[in-house]
Structure 1
Amino acid sequence: MTSTLELARFVQETDYDDLSGDVRDALKRRVLDSVGIAIAAEVAEPTKIVHRTVTELEDGGPCTLWGRDGGASPVQAAMHNTALVRYLDYMDSFLAPGETPHPSDTIAAVVAAAEFAECTGEQLLAGIAIAYEIQAELAWNAPVRDEGFDHVTHTVIAAAAGVAKVLGLDELETQNAIAIAGTAHNALRVTRTGGINEWKGIASANAARNAVYSAMLARNGMDGPRNLFEGQKGWQDVISGPFDVDLTPGERVHDVMTKRYVAETYAQSAVEGVVELAEREGLDPANVSGITLETFRGAKLIIGGGEGNRYEVENRAQADHSLPYMLAAALLDRDLSLAQYERERILAADVQDLLRVVDVTADPDLTERFEAGEMPAVVDVTMDDGTTYRVEKDAFRGHPTDPIGWDGLEEKVDTVAGESLPDDERDELVETIRTLEEHDVTELTALLA
């Protein structure tokens, strides 16, 4: 049975030299993906709210607030910068049978702590590897969604472990950091059920902030309940049930997907499929009488109507968690990017009308295939004359079986952040991340200021 000590020893024993070349490369691609998305999110009102709140509470600090003037404490920088990474719902995901968290939710917290501690790029990569590994293993072996907890319940533990690494905490301090984080910050699933609101895109930032604060408390001598997992009324007793983890030096990063479309994780194959179908058949949306999606249980539950009405779509947070909206917009526009989440587009008559003829069903066979590692989708589009066109998908570009490399990620950065990032700055940012081992963390964060 997993213990807090087991995680703390993993943190202590895992260093940059333990990471394979493939793991290092994959982690750096995760960093590029995350900062590109963050740049694009700077103009979003919820991230501006976070910025106003952070700067209202603090007047400067040693850590960079990405995309803004001034700085903040590592705690508030983690909050602000994680909000940027997460808000657009364009970040990475780890695909486990019972949980799909976003390991990139931990990156900005580790970066903030590493900047505070004046770490090297090698030390940063070790911290991120630890956070990714723990996030993935918790999701795989101790899913919490069906128990009513949000996946950021994993994030706060994983981020605290990565932060403990870059802060140089010893084994006891690391236990305390993980213990405080995991005891005090367990988020409810209601964040992603019913009528979704903007907190959905900010909840992981709150977890990242709490992770850094927990580690800072431990660094300054605060004890925590070091039997967090195994203790009476502890994490396994109350939240997850007994479980074991099998921790490797960051190898779980290879099981992380990159989003091709601005859409909830489980929608990626279906959206890619409907775009392919529309382009292949030259479909006229005005003549579409129905769209049927057969998918797996998790997709039906989260974005297909199992946890709330997904046909009443009025804002961005609701749109990117509504399969009816995403499929309708993708068929109409042959794309699902930032433009499809502008309020005017969301409320437009054509997409509002079309989303109401989308039907989503869960298929047990597709659920089995998902749990075996695929992301299957079967999309049928029926026309007014009765003709039906079908596309079947096993996965999508960006899935671990079809990963997006450096060229694809640079293209993604250009697409989402090109208007905000001149070519020379973009090239310098990409090259710095590609060669992160050769730089200090402050060199990276200077490019994000």
Structure 2
Amino acid sequence: MRQTLALTVVANTALHQTRVGEVSMWKALAPSNASRNGVIAAMLAQAGVTGPVEPFVGAKGFERQVSGPLQFEGFGSKAGGYRINQTYIKVWPVQYNIQADIEAALALRDKISDPARIDSVVIDISDTGRILSADTAAKWDPQTRENANHSLPYIVVSALVDGQVSRATFDASAYRDPRKLELVQRVEVRADPEFTRAYPGDLSVRVCVRLQDGSERVHQIDHLKGHVRNPLSDEEVSQKYHGLVGGRFSRTRAEANLSCLWELEQVEHLGELLAGFALDEADDPRRHVGAAETDRGMVTSG
């Protein structure tokens, strides 16, 4: 384990630049790349390859080059508990800091009979949320799926106009819709000092919709659905799963895979689970579209 960590940390330190500015396709690939490199490091260590000494505290180690002093808690420690119990689950397929804004926007839409009545929108969020989702001009004029997926103004407008946010929200026909882009230009995003201080324990947002008659509709979210203080139920998690795999697998196969996931601690060999998610040749999307289009279309967040 020690050699695996050394081989992984020293050789694969990633930069947060992946998640700011004009978002590229790499963001969606970064987690799987990290997993792959971790597996390779474990295989090398198993074969006897040693890693650099003192990868964290050495003269040129992670703490001095990247993070500063770190404090680690033991796995399952009383102070921290198991991290799985502190996991936040996304409801919608977008960047996590935008989840609460969607929830607030959808609540407001129920109070607006016609989205055409909207004059402008003001969004208050933590400074971190602003930096991650409203930091560049590209977020007000998304030209790519990746920027649309991380554009707070566009996604809130989509929730208000469409009454939903789904994978279809990030089709080019949706994020280049002139009607939406015109309204996006009337969205203001502000960093709220109180929300910034409370972050990340609270992910508070406030969405204010100003109507053409001068009236306002306001909705604030502090603990969004899926937050550890407002967790999804098992049924809601199952609904999200079926929404993601629908169109990929038959209902029977999807249910079999889901049963395996709910009883994961009872599975003796991981191959039993992975086999259920392997695409049959007939399911392979590359049989129906060009490979380049498939490579781009398969890169999604959430």
Q: Which residue of 2 aligns with 1:428?
A: 256
1:278 aligns with 2:104: no
1:251 aligns with 2:82: yes
- For residues 233-268 of structure 1, the C-alpha deviation after alignment (integer angstroms, 9 at most, x for no partner) is 100011000121112336111111111112110011
1:283 CA drift (Å): 4.0
1:200 aligns with 2:200: no
1:194–1:308 CA contact under 8 A, matched in 2 = no
2:261–2:273 CA contact under 8 A, matched in 1 = yes
State the alpha-carbon separation in 1 of the partners of residues 170 and 145 from structure 2: 6
Q: Of 262, 272, 276, which residue of structure 2 is paired with 1:443?
A: 272
State the alpha-carbon separation in 1 of the partners of residues 137 and 59 from structure 2: 34
1:356 CA drift (Å): 1.1
2:138–2:147 CA contact under 8 A, matched in 1 = no
1:190 CA drift (Å): 2.6
Report SS of the residue matched to 1:398.
Answer: coil
* Dislocated runs of 4+, deviation >3 Å: none
1:380–1:388 CA contact under 8 A, matched in 2 = yes
State the alpha-carbon separation in 2 of the partners of residues 312 and 347 from structure 1: 8
1:196 CA drift (Å): 1.7
- For residues 216-247 of structure 1, the C-alpha deviation after alignment (integer angstroms, 9 at most, x for no partner) is 11111111113000110100011000121112
1:375–1:395 CA contact under 8 A, matched in 2 = yes
1:210 aligns with 2:37: yes
Counterpart residue identity of residue 385, structure 1 = D
Q: Which residue of 2 aligns with 1:311?
A: 140
Report SS of the residue matched to 1:319.
Answer: helix
Q: Which residue of 2 aligns with 1:379?
A: 207
Q: CA RMSD in A?
A: 1.5
- Would the alpha carbon gap of residues 205 and 308 (structure 1) be closer, same or farther in structure 2, given more than 3 Å must change? farther
Report SS of the residue matched to 2:199.
Answer: helix
Report SS of the residue matched to 1:208.
Answer: helix
Gaps of 5+ in 2: 279-302
1:178 CA drift (Å): 0.5
Q: Which residue of 2 aligns with 1:394?
A: 222
State the alpha-carbon separation in 1 of the partners of residues 65 and 211 from structure 2: 50
Gaps of 5+ in 1: 1-173
The correspondence of residues 270-349 of structure 1 with structure 2, limited to 5 A, is 270-279=101-110, 281-305=111-135, 309-349=138-178
Counterpart residue identity of residue 221, structure 2 = K
The percentage of counterpart residues that share the same residue type is 27
Q: Which residue of 1 aligns with 2:293?
A: none
Q: Of 205, 210, 219, which residue of structure 1 is paired with 2:46?
A: 219
TM-score (norm 2): 0.86
1:258–1:398 CA contact under 8 A, matched in 2 = yes
Q: Which residue of 2 aligns with 1:39?
A: none
Counterpart residue identity of residue 207, structure 1 = A
1:191 CA drift (Å): 2.0
State the alpha-carbon separation in 2 of the partners of residues 235 and 299 from structure 1: 26
- For residues 287-333 of structure 1, the C-alpha deviation after alignment (integer angstroms, 9 at most, x for no partner) is 2111001111110111021x664212012100111101111111111
The correspondence of residues 136-155 of structure 1 with structure 2, limited to 5 A, is none
Q: Which residue of 2 aligns with 1:175?
A: 2
Report SS of the residue matched to 2:124.
Answer: strand
1:269–1:376 CA contact under 8 A, matched in 2 = yes
Paired residues in the alignment total: 273
State the alpha-carbon separation in 1 of the partners of residues 125 and 156 from structure 2: 13
Counterpart residue identity of residue 200, structure 1 = K
Counterpart residue identity of residue 233, structure 1 = K
1:264 aligns with 2:95: yes
Counterpart residue identity of residue 213, structure 2 = D
1:355 aligns with 2:184: yes
1:282 CA drift (Å): 2.6
1:411 aligns with 2:242: no
Report SS of the residue matched to 1:257.
Answer: coil
- Would the alpha carbon gap of residues 309 and 184 (structure 1) be closer, same or farther in structure 2, given more than 3 Å must change? same
The correspondence of residues 179-194 of structure 1 with structure 2, limited to 5 A, is 179-194=6-21
